[in-house]
Chain A
Amino acid sequence: MSGQLRSALIIGVQGIRARKLRTFLSMVSLFLGVLAIVVVQAGSQVAERAMLADVELNSGKDGTAQLFVPSNPKVPQVLAETLTGRSDAVAMRSTSATIGEPGVRALNPGASPFEGPGAGGYGYPMTCDSQGNCTSGEDQSVPKGVAIEVRLTSLTGDVRQFRPYRQESGRWLDFDSAPSLAPRIVLNKQAAVGFQRYRVPAQMRIAGATADPTPQIIGVVDDGGYGAAAYVRQDELSNWVPSTTATAGTPDPRFGGGTSVLLSGAGTDVERVLKSRLAANGVDPSQLRTELVQSRARAASTLNLMRWIFLGMAALVLLIGVAAILNVGLATVGERVEEFALRRAVGTSRLLLAGIVLAETLLTGLFTAGAAIGVGALAFKIAVPLLGSGRMAFLRDLSFPWQAAVAGIIAGLVAGVLGGSIPALRAARIPIATVMRA
């Protein structure tokens, strides 16, 4: 370190220590400005996560390609043969299943949730034939019993790489072990509520099944869905629902119909192989649509607009902080005219003197920024576990965004430079002769 730098450090620290209260006061408003910037940055990060979290669960992470395969009796067979054991492509097919007492109406017809919006049923399910004649209403002749209806989704592989379901308890499906005869199922949170509330016999009736298997519930996940749902390994389900039966290829129309295959990116080899095999088995190629999930890009413009509006407001607050530093800085230079003239008289150069004044405000700015970032991070750490439950569960694994810290440091530096440069210039211009004349 050169003599200049060491001298500047000593003089700067002496200057700050001689005016602790004043330094502190100029820090207060700057602190608020930097804090505003940090909060906006962290907030927009949280908002982005909030907007994307549900999208990720419902359609998939950004870059995931979703191939919709229309119903066809041979489709399940082709999918199972092509995709079993693969990790870069997973087929999902949903059907209706009712777990509980046989021969009764489910407690939640239509797999409606037990809590929150839609609880108590979505209304009676409608069944429509191919001519568009719909029959509405529940079959009142069947008594209600202890049974829970779920939307049962069979998977050929681990889907969580595309849709990051959060484990609530227990385990997720294990795709490496040998298939079990008693299908292992993972419930979503809404279904778990029902199972917690009622003593439900472990017997599962699946649309198109040849017999009723006894499922083993191994875990609960948050899948972002509103209705009661469950997930099962496709090969464990196919023991009970032979792919050759006509209904097996006809998924429950209430749950969207068809099969979707999630792929890591569009235009992969698997996609091409899958499409050609499906075409060879009678699926019309023009009906195979692939959609790429690009939620971030779609959300980005909205988020950016919000971020700029809030950053603009934060910048205004910061400007007030700068004005405060500038005000204090100018007053201080006025007060220190004699000190600065004296320092120049004993050989301190103009440049170094200006540097010291600038360094003092810069140090103040950085120190303030550090404090504001610290407070912001601490508040974040305290607030996140409090907020991070229920619908805001995505907050749980969110750490204080580094962008907010960087923005805070930059804001502190900018404020220091803006608020310090004018006093620094003034300090450098003080004429020694005039001040020291007797």
Chain B
Amino acid sequence: MSPGANESVIRVVGLGKSYETAAGLFPALKGVNLDIKSGEYIAIMGPSGSGKSTFMNLLGCLDTPSTGDYFLAGRNVAHMDKDALAVLRNRTLGFVFQGFNLLPRMSLQDNVALPLVYAGDDKETRRAKARELLGKVGLGQYAESLPNRISGGQQQRVAIARALVNSPRLILADEPTGNLDSHTSEEIMRLFGELNAEGITIVLVTHENDIAAHAKRQVKFLDGEIVSDHLTAQVPA
């Protein structure tokens, strides 16, 4: 067990989110409770529309909950303002999207360095860190290329490098392999495994069992509620 393993990185209490729709308020998340310790590797599963993305967006400080509290590294972020959330997104966590979300006009190096621009780092630091992380995900030779010059799997690795560039202790990934073939998906999962081995807490969403099998713990959503929460070893294959 790594040091600080008992410390909660994420703790949500009665977390709820309702969307305004034409048919009235729609409760996408209905009072979820979850505790995630430092160094954990969790797969969030569940059918489409079960509220996984809604939950991840709240964890990622991209959205604010309708009800409940969310403690990120001990601080309640449920009522923070937009700029405070932006700072958390920048420094405390890294988010990986299904669609990679790289900026098409920028070189890979500049894409990876972009969070550092908002952190206020100088040009040399930005360059050095971006290079280092591109190397870490095995794409150092493409630093000056534009995103459309590389494959989807490679783009997702660049996105992971970008998520890691501010040295967060938490990575959130919403269906990171959703747009990738199974071989490439395996490579991405291997990268997540390595990061977790370094002590980084990882929460990822997937609806594929063999992807989820890489995680140490699996949490299942259905209709905006958690319906099961097991260690992977105990999950029936």
The answer on A and B forming one complex is no
